Amino acid sequence: MENTIKQLKEYLIKHDIKPSTIRLKILEYLLNNRIHPTADDIYKNLLDQIPTLSKTSVYNTLDLFADKGVVKVLSLNEKEARYDINTRLHGHFKCRVCSRVYDFAIPYDVSIPHELKGFDVNDIDINFYGVCQNCKNQGRKS
Ligand SMILES: [Zn+2]
Ligand SMILES: [Zn+2]
């Protein structure tokens, strides 16, 4: 599903973000590449289209997106954070061989454990780690 520039602009404005060329390009990349990219992945992929792009502007844009709830920052035992355009609650499986991050659905009614009653819970991460079926079938090991 391709998004029109108009749709992308509206998406940013809805999240209280002023659309700029860089912001629109990064948003478009995230929507079209559901691979949980790092800032570096995004930078390398957009450099052809925006030769003036700097890594700092990618980081700044992602920080802003995270602030405004456009992306979720994933910490998956990695040095570099990954970014997810899907901010609804879902789980992640990180393959230690191919480094791919898979999404999986989790039931809607994840309840707050009774030990945390009275706490404010802002975020929930459910991360699984291991070797994906693809890598297992190919006999690949880390
Ligand atoms: Zn794998
Ligand atoms: Zn995800």
Task: Give the tens place of pLDDT for each residue, 11-29.
Answer: 999 999 999 999 999 999 9
Domains 5-82 and 88-137 alike in fold:
no
Residue 77 has pLDDT above 60, yes or no: yes
Cα 68 to averaged position of ligand 2 atoms, centre (Å): 17
Q: For residues 108 and 86, which has the higher predicted lDDT (pLDDT)?
A: 86
The fold of 5-82 is Arc Repressor Mutant, subunit A (1.10.10)
pLDDT at 1: 56
Cα 92 to averaged position of ligand 2 atoms, centre (Å): 6
Cα 132 to averaged position of ligand 1 atoms, centre (Å): 4
- Ligand whose nearest atom lies closest to the CA of 137: 1
- For the entire predicted model, the pTM comes to 0.88
Residue 105: count of CB within 10 angstroms of its CB: 9
Helix (H) or strand (E) holding 25: helix 21-32
- Ligand whose nearest atom lies closest to the CA of 85: 2
CATH 3.30.1490.190 for the 88-137 domain, yes or no? yes
